[in-house]
Amino acid sequence: MKKIVAMILVAMLALAGLTAMAETLTMCTNVAFPPYEFYGEDSEPTGIDVEIAKAIAEKLGYELEIVDIEFAQCIPGVQSGKYDFSAAGMTVTEERQQMVQFTDTYATGIQVIIVPEDSEMASLDDFVDANGSVKVGVQMATTGDLYTTWDYEDEGKGTVDRYTTGAAAVQALLAGKVDCVVIDNEPAKNFVAQNEGLKILDTAYAVEDYAMAFAKDSPIYEDFNNALAELIEDGTVQGIIDTFIPAE
Ligand code: GLN
């Protein structure tokens, strides 16, 4: 009898330990991707991804911890279980689906091309036609990196310089080290607004869906995705998006 009581006690303690551990959800992201994630005036991370993740965590009764890492480390970090999930303006791609599982999509991204204001080029192919090759700046491991690598570097039509943040790629453009930067449209608008002498070309490069990424064996994936679906359904997600992307 005593033995059974002891076993039950041990089991209860173990359970309590587990619940205590599960109280915090760790989200990894690269906090240099406005308006999806950036440091607000209080120096705390905010933005569309951050606020949606907070709303989901609150709905499920978790604390949310945000860890600021390189975008390239987000998928490996989720896969290895170091972080519970990643919300990083991340595009759903077939390659990534081999490595992680994605939630429902909650936003659309467009890969656009930033060039100096006085550039006469209307597309990347124009650069290649005029100069024989193009120097593209991207954020490492993003879809902008993948697509331009396939379409230009692998085809011998140019070089791709990979930076750890989109902001660093834009600095390289301002310094004349690259001809253009390929990056998601909303961050692009932010970077162009913050820096003199840049514009976004009308020709979009690719249209994509954003979703949050989880390890394939994540125990919280289903609850999390259900909560996200409810917040999409009841308009909370659109409300958050509208706060950070005011209608033009
Ligand atoms: N949407 C792009 C991608 O998933 C860029 C995301 C980012 O830089 N945070 O690759």
Q: How far, in Å, is the centroid of ligand 1 from the Cα of 89?
A: 5
| pLDDT score, position 138 | 97
What is the average per-residue pLDDT within 180-205? 94
Q: For the segment 110-161, what is each residue's pLDDT rounded down to a tens digit? A: 999 999 999 988 999 999 999 999 999 999 999 999 999 999 999 999 999 9
How high is the mean pLDDT of the chain? Answer: 92
Structural domains of the chain, with CATH: 2-106+211-244 (3.40.190.10), 109-207 (3.40.190.10)
pLDDT at 204: 81
**From atom 8 of ligand 1, which residue's Cα is the shortest distance away?**
142
- Per the document, the length of the chain is 248
Q: pTM here?
A: 0.88
The yes-or-no verdict on residue 214 having pLDDT over 90 is yes
Distance 47 CA to ligand 1 centre (A): 15
How confident is the model at residue 205, as a pLDDT? 84
The pLDDT score that the predictor gives to residue 16 is 55
pLDDT tens readout for residues 11-64: 655 555 454 456 999 999 999 999 999 999 999 999 999 999 999 999 999 999
- Ligand 1 atom with least separation from CA of 142: 10
As a whole number, mean pLDDT of residues 71-87 equals 97
Distance CA 47, CA 99 (A): 26
Three-class HEC string of the chain: CHHHHHHHHHHHHHHHHHHHHCCEEEEEECCCECCCEEECCCCCEECHHHHHHHHHHHHHCCEEEEEECCHHHHHHHHHCCCCCEECCCCECCHHHHHHCEECCCCEEEEEEEEEECCCCCCCHHHHHHHHCCEEEEEECCCHHHHHHHHHHHCCCCEEEEEECCHHHHHHHHHCCCCCEEEEEHHHHHHHHHHCCCEEECCCCCEEEEECCEECCCCCCHHHHHHHHHHHHHCCHHHHHHHHHCCCC
Ligand 1 centre and the CA of 5: distance in Å?
A: 53
Atom of ligand 1 nearest to the CA of 30: 9
